[in-house]
Structure 1
Amino acid sequence: MVNGKAVETETIDSAVSKFLDWLKFYKKVILIAHNGKNFDFPVFMTALASVNRASEFCDIVIGFVDSLPLLKKIFPGQSSYKQENLVSNLLAATYGAHNALEDVRSLGWLIKHEKVTDKHLQDFTFSPEAVKNQLAYNREKNKNIESLHPLIAAGVMKMTTAQNKNSHGQARVTCCKKTLNTVIPSLCEFFDKQNSS
């Protein structure tokens, strides 16, 4: 359903095939999305991986650009960096926000703004492989965090510490006496309680 109307659906595999066939007509493809680094690109790379087409995609698409940080750099001081607000404030235009086709068109208008240069686009381009690597990193980061939940629940470790520990695969060692005097007794107490139960 889109706007209360039933729409025809397509399998991910079929949609990806059609999209890749269309992209093949172009050379050195760079895809742009607003807030793409946090949303569109990870979702899309996950979909590609689910149908085993990520490598083929990476052969066609050489880069991604997230227009959100790009436009923040070029147009500092905006009251909002939502795409519809940028279109209104920078282009004095309105459009049907959250309509896929209108969103794409309006992003095109923003990217074609005279202040957005090829150099800006180049500076904000990152590879699809970077997104694949970030997704793999996030999977690893979250894989072992379950084992730390008892320490978090007991107040021995904060969630941020557990996440940082897992993002690097190992705990950070400190020589700060205050930290050592707090953490080591807490860990000892926790494990003593575990052993006595």
Structure 2
Amino acid sequence: MEKTFNVYMVPRTPIVKGASAVTGFTVRRHKLYLHHRPVQTKTHRDCLMSFLAFLRALDRPLLAGHNIKRFDCPILARVLEEFQLNEEFKLLVSGFLDTLILSKDLLRNTGIKSFKQENLVKELLKKSYPAHNALEDVKALQDLYSALRPTPAQITSHLFTLDHMESHMSLQPLVEGKAISKTTAQKLARLGFNFEKMKRSHLQNPSEGLRQFLEPLKQELKNSMFTKTVDKICDFFKIEQ
């Protein structure tokens, strides 16, 4: 029997008119409406608890979604941390897979110009579906994933975890301060480095601590770029002191 999870919550920020026109959702007097009909909602915490209960009934699934690495996962990571549920969540899933990134890899040189989920479903499965409906989106994505037929190696190469997301989010001050690029932040996060660990290594040994700590990054960058990156991060921490 197919297991599904679908609950609603009142968003914390206003729904703009354009989004309402696309999704059918509106909020009036702290109540959520779908196509002008009220829907039952839960608090953010209750939604998360229900989601964890749903995951607990599965065998550490890999959570796949389209464009989740840039959009959905950072939001999920923040709210899990807010309610101190991130560690429990990590025990219940094996990781995330962004099918947008995966499809761009598997379908390069095929002539496909748009990698939006709707377009890929139309191109590969020759069908359409009610987009912006959560359950229909997921069902269509399941079919799309089956059609892509990624190998275990391809899945592994694109898999990322909540730890990765948390590390990447922690590095944003360095990106915003132009100490590192967005690409370097991704590489650091993938290697398990976060802001606090890097700062601690610098404070413990301002001359060489960070350079030694970030040694694994050398495999990702040219020597000159590695040195320049370490110097910029050190300068950032010096200014912050």
Q: Same fold (TM over 0.5)?
A: yes
In structure 2, the CA distance between the partners of 1:14 and 1:78, relative to structure 1 (3 Å rule), is: same
In structure 2, what residue type is equivalent to 1:141? L
* Structure with more contact order per residue of length (Cα contacts < 8 Å, sep ≥ 6): 1
Partner of 1:177: none
Partner of 1:93: 127
For the pair shown, which has the larger CA radius of gyration, 1 or 2?
Answer: 1
Contact 2:55 2:92 in 1 (8 A): yes
Moved over 6 A (4+): none
Give the one of 111, 122, 135 matched to 2:169: 135
User: What 5-or-longer segments of structure 2 have no aligned partner?
Assistant: 1-32, 186-231, 237-241
Equivalenced residue count is 153
Q: Render the CA deviation track for 1:88-119: whole Å, top value 9, x for unaligned.
A: 00110100011111111111111111533333
Partner of 1:191: none
Give the one of 157, 163, 181 matched to 2:178: 163
Q: Following TM superposition, by how much is the alpha carbon of 1:2 offset from its aligned partner in structure 2, in angstroms? A: 2.8
* Mapped partners of 1:34, 1:170: distance in 2: 36
Partner of 2:146: 112
Query: Once superposed, what is the RMSD of the aligned Cα atoms?
Result: 2.2
Contact 2:106 2:148 in 1 (8 A): no
Contact 1:23 1:29 in 2 (8 A): yes
In structure 2, what residue type is equivalent to 1:86? L
In structure 1, what residue type is equivalent to 2:64? I
Identity fraction in percent = 30
**SS of aligned partner of 2:123:** helix
Q: Following TM superposition, by how much is the alpha carbon of 1:25 offset from its aligned partner in structure 2, in angstroms? A: 1.6
**Which structure 2 residues correspond to residues 12-23 of structure 1 after superposition, within 5 A?**
12-23=44-55
In structure 2, the CA distance between the partners of 1:46 and 1:27, relative to structure 1 (3 Å rule), is: same
Partner of 1:47: 79
* Mapped partners of 2:36, 2:105: distance in 1: 37
1:72 and 2:104 matched: yes
With normalisation by structure 1, the TM-score equals: 0.70
* Mapped partners of 2:50, 2:41: distance in 1: 14
Q: Following TM superposition, by how much is the alpha carbon of 1:127 offset from its aligned partner in structure 2, in angstroms? A: 1.4
Contact 2:62 2:96 in 1 (8 A): yes
User: What 5-or-longer segments of structure 1 have no aligned partner?
Assistant: 146-161, 173-197
Partner of 1:193: none
In structure 2, the CA distance between the partners of 1:114 and 1:37, relative to structure 1 (3 Å rule), is: closer
* Mapped partners of 1:84, 1:16: distance in 2: 27
* Mapped partners of 1:55, 1:43: distance in 2: 16
Q: Following TM superposition, by how much is the alpha carbon of 1:120 offset from its aligned partner in structure 2, in angstroms? A: 2.2
